[in-house]
Structure 1
């Protein structure tokens, strides 16, 4: 039997009330931003921002970081006027599937026309991806969308649960002798049947995950173990997952190394607090490597994660990053070392990060008071 996603999907459009029920709150945030900057219009062009506002998929190819539409927001007392600017190919699909229930007007251009020609410009027009004549407010808009609404937090929890379950099932279907491509196909299938778009998909057979920290699948075959990694998206929100299956028990030293890596992850999670700078959390986390028996420069071999939610990572966190971790922001850390990697997607609340990527059927271990994924053996 095909498993259904945990987030309710009440109609063929795939929309749920959580996406449009909180639109007034999101528009109020945008209106406040516009007032502070002395703007009367905002042009939203970043896919992450459009997904935050509408819950829509604004991409066509998964690989593009550009949107097939722009949304013009004109705040006014009591609300805002929204206009979707797109082309004649995309408008019918967007109306019928992605933007059902979103109150907006439409500006539809021929597909051969440049959308920027239909966008407002001037000193009182701001944008998260400005063109000439617009005010650059990308930093302010990124901070605005970084804090999830309650409805978005609920949606993210469902995305994370479904992505974790998909990875558990896929790992259980892997067998020695299978190629990395075959394992990637299994993982993609398990994600897609749960209405999750794979926006990143990595597979590492045996020890390749230590050599290649972003192991795009190859024809290499697995003998001893497999690592499955995905970033899975639904309604614009993304879960980052890493799981490792060992077909035979690893030796004591390797098991202990994995356990020490979970201690490193705990250093990142312990430092992920409301009001801290993301660079502070990064520095505390990377300090966990030498504290738990890894090289002090192990973190040089791979970025360690950072702000997530509407993108797999907004940018890789680093010591000098000054963005403040706000309540209801999303962070995904992914420490790696000794041939292992661990990863989670966390909603930051008042008393610390809530780890969301959990499937009760995956073996778990308690680390620093949190339930963390163990190795699946057998």
Structure 2
């Protein structure tokens, strides 16, 4: 299929990047064990359960005599991976590296099937006896999406936004936070998205709890839905607020001032910008728009994303330099309001991705930003 061919071609591109890294670091074999690195390489689900903590496979990338991949997994996961997640690897051998499998019994650790330093110079992203630590190099490598991944992320972001819209339209003031989370999870799953983060807050918790895990309490007059949807390993973050009564003038003003804070983050997000300087610009905007100058101390403001909800929360000391093809998600909050988007860094600036044309919007500095849905 055409899509499978595109995935194999994209894999070849990523393996070429790994080969360049291997040459710089003087290794001929790279072992990927970290879930974010595995999803970056393979574009599939690598976790059972669907968490971000441990993967059900490792990938050995042999870079001598032509690149070859070896999938190392156990006897439980191998049939499923071959039939579903990695079925697209079985191409004609022309547009993808050769692939082999090492399958161990479920009661044995996979480490014994991984290479050692005897006969090879090995680098890895998680501890492995005798291997060089390439974790920082691999994090930097995957931070910039391939063109194929950028297309995939746009689809993931649009579908995550549509799922949030669908869920919001099913809410009532009497809906419990748990039930709202169920509607959001259902809308994500129907679109083929894993709900890796689900937060819901009713009106009484919107300012006090910036990470409101759902409870049995009813939403009341206003509610907030927060989700991270994941597909092909790529993650999109979205926050949406629904009100069951018209906003007062003061409430409208508070939300618009927060969008002005977000604008400062987005305006500063461009190739060549130091991540910490973007944060400093954004956080300075709180006081400029009549928020407490320390409002940003109460919640992280976002950071690099793509393969995890956040690679790390960015702060003014973050020295990562942004480049085109990287992904960030900013989420300023204050006064009972929060706004969030997944944003692709482009050569001309940045492109917010989490947009649903059915959701009400406001124009802020030439960008369409989500408004509060009043029902």
Task: Give the alignment's TM-score, normalised by structure 1.
Answer: 0.94
Find 2:64's aligned residue among 48, 66, 76. Answer: 76
Separation in 2, partners of 1:18, 1:230: 28
Give the match for residue 149 of structure 1.
146
Question: Counterpart in 2 of 1:87?
Answer: 74
After the TM superposition, which residues 1-378 of structure 1 pair with which residues of structure 2 at under 5 Å, given as runs? 16-76=4-64, 79-102=66-89, 103-122=98-117, 124-378=121-375
Preserved CA contact (<8 Å) 1:45 1:128: yes
Deviation at 1:16, TM superposition (A): 4.5
RMSD between aligned alpha carbons?
A: 1.4
Alignment: residue pair count: 365
Q: Distance in 2 between matches of 1:354 and 1:95?
A: 36
Contact 1:207 1:339 in 2 (8 A): no
What CA distance in whole angstroms lies between the structure 1 residues aligned with 2:6 and 2:199?
A: 31
Q: 4+ residue runs of structure 1 moved beyond 6 angstroms?
A: none
Q: Secondary structure at the match of 2:88?
A: coil
In structure 1, how many angstroms separate the alpha carbons of the residues matched to 2:35 and 2:271? 26
- Aligned mates of 1:153, 1:196 — CA distance in 2: 17
The alpha-carbon deviation at position 209 of structure 1 amounts to 2.0
Kept in 2: contact 1:18–1:155 (CA 8 A): no
1:137 Cα deviation (Å)?
0.8
Q: Residues 150-181 of structure 1: CA distance to partner in whole angstroms, max 9, x if unpaired?
A: 11111110111111011101101001111000
Deviation string, structure 1 residues 211-248 (Cα, Å, up to 9, x no partner): 11111100010220110000000110111000000000
Contact 1:20 1:54 survives alignment (8 Å):
no
**Rounded Cα–Cα distance in structure 2 between residues aligned with 1:124 and 1:292:** 55
Give CA-to-partner distance per residue, 1:9-38, whole Å, 9 cap, x none.
x79xxx754432211111110000000000
Q: CA deviation at 1:146?
A: 1.0
Q: CA shift at 1:326, angstroms? A: 1.7
Cα distance 1:18–1:299, how it changes in 2: closer, same or farther (>3 A)? farther
Alpha-carbon offset, residue 116 of structure 1:
1.3
Instruction: Show CA shifts across 1:270-316 (max 9, x none).
Output: 11111112111111111111111111111111111100001100010
- Cα pair 2:35 2:52 within 8 Å, conserved: no
Query: Quick one: distance in 1 between partners of 2:134 and 2:274?
Result: 20
Cα distance per residue 1:16-72 (max 9 Å; x no partner):
544322111111100000000001110001111111111111001123411110000
Cα contact 2:201–2:224 (8 A) shared by 1:
yes
In 2, Cα distance between equivalents of 1:16 and 1:173? 36
